[in-house]
Structure 1
């Protein structure tokens, strides 16, 4: 694991992208869809609008452009026009013949190699969600790892409904953090930038999700 220990302790002071949102903002107009057995043992509420998450809406647009631009490189190495495209080709081609579990391990390890960097250091602002190409070129922080993993797994055949980026509170370090949740038939697995281990969400008693999202839906979470 190449995430610097100090950086891991200061991952995020608040939930990323939520500076102007309250729990009321995130739950307004959405419906309950869990009974304390959902992600990280919470009750969750879902909505189909991203008005409360403008950074995510922007990232979705940029990430889709990135993936489309990388595909010629994936198909033919001579078409690779950037280091980011070559990196994308490396993980997609290496993992596409793997089993589902092997893909998760490979993708998690691959992107965890990028050095952790604060948004203030890279982008000059307190909070910025990076697209895939931006992250692979300049690196980033918690949610940026999760975004790259999300789209890599989609390219490797995982369904959108099986993936969520989760913004949460780490109660041990008393900081905000972000991970990728992967929904399996009998469990939810967590890909974390702080570790190459992939564990069940039930193992993370100190993680309290605030909200999560994929490209079609967002969920607000309340600890039951």
Structure 2
């Protein structure tokens, strides 16, 4: 018909291109995007490039808040021992600091790899049920090093703390909970951002891999200094523009209310 009779799919493409070009103006105007959506957009730089929203309540948030207090105590004790090794009476702290010392002497990917390898070797993989007689116990690093055993989240927490002590910025450190679709269980790992790329420090492998290369896992939650966030489906282009549309084509993650008890 006429030159301006554009089909619906083409209109959607044109809208997407237009929003891409006008994105800074849209964000600054604040009229087309609600504050909640803006918070989601700001978190899209999280590992796996997926959107995430903050979780102020729920089982995982409560668990992390309880652990965070113990982790802070450990970091204080480690800092004191780091400043005066001769007076440090904590064997777990000295063992932990020995790993940090080696990592500090390296740069870039080698620093991350050293912490991943050394902590994987320092801790024996043991289920929470076998070690604590209960499921889903998250331990601070010094308790893990004192026992010499732990499961996936204990490795991740220890690496999270060691990377901080080795000089990485909190902005570049995360713990991620994923659903292992092959084993049918949840799994936790530490991730560190290097040169704009998120690398996974996993207790299941010595070699680090980039988040985009992780296969067979569904990201569920991401944890950092700001607390727990839950991965969500990104909003569709039409939704950002204030209109109505069919569901977005992005992958949907069926996220449980809390982390499953089986993890390693």
TM normalised by structure 2 equals: 0.68
Please point out which of 131, 144, 163 is paired with 1:135: 144
Q: CA deviation at 1:71?
A: 2.1
Matches of 1:35 and 1:77, distance apart in 2: 39
Matches of 2:218 and 2:95, distance apart in 1: 32
Q: CA deviation at 1:185?
A: 3.2
- Is 1:98 the counterpart of 2:95? The answer is no
Residue-by-residue CA offset, 1:46-95 (whole Å, 9 max, x unaligned): 22735551111111111111111122322333122122111122012222
Structure number with higher helix proportion = 2
Please point out which of 72, 75, 82 is paired with 1:67: 75
Query: Following TM superposition, where does structure 1 have runs of at least 4 consecutive aligned residues deviating by more than 4 angstroms?
Result: 34-38
Please point out which of 109, 115, 124 is paired with 2:133: 124
Q: 2:54 maps to what in 1? A: 47
Moved more, 105-114 or 90-99: 90-99
Matches of 1:50 and 1:83, distance apart in 2: 36
Please point out which of 171, 192, 195 is paired with 1:185: 195
Matches of 2:81 and 2:43, distance apart in 1: 45
Unaligned runs of 5+ in 2: 1-35, 234-250, 252-264
Q: 1:111 maps to what in 2? A: 119
Counterpart contact for 2:64–2:228, Cα < 8 Å: no
Structure with the bigger RCO (C-alpha within 8 Å, sep 6+) is: 1
Q: Which entry has the higher C-alpha Rg, 1 or 2?
A: 2
Q: CA deviation at 1:107?
A: 0.6
Counterpart contact for 2:43–2:53, Cα < 8 Å: no
Counterpart contact for 1:92–1:156, Cα < 8 Å: yes
TM normalised by structure 1 equals: 0.79
Unaligned runs of 5+ in 1: 1-28
- Is 1:150 the counterpart of 2:157? The answer is no
- Is 1:79 the counterpart of 2:80? The answer is no
Please point out which of 211, 229, 239 is paired with 1:201: 211
How many aligned residue pairs are there?
195
Q: Give the direction of change, closer, same or farther, for the CA distance of 1:50–1:131 in structure 2 (3 Å limit).
A: farther
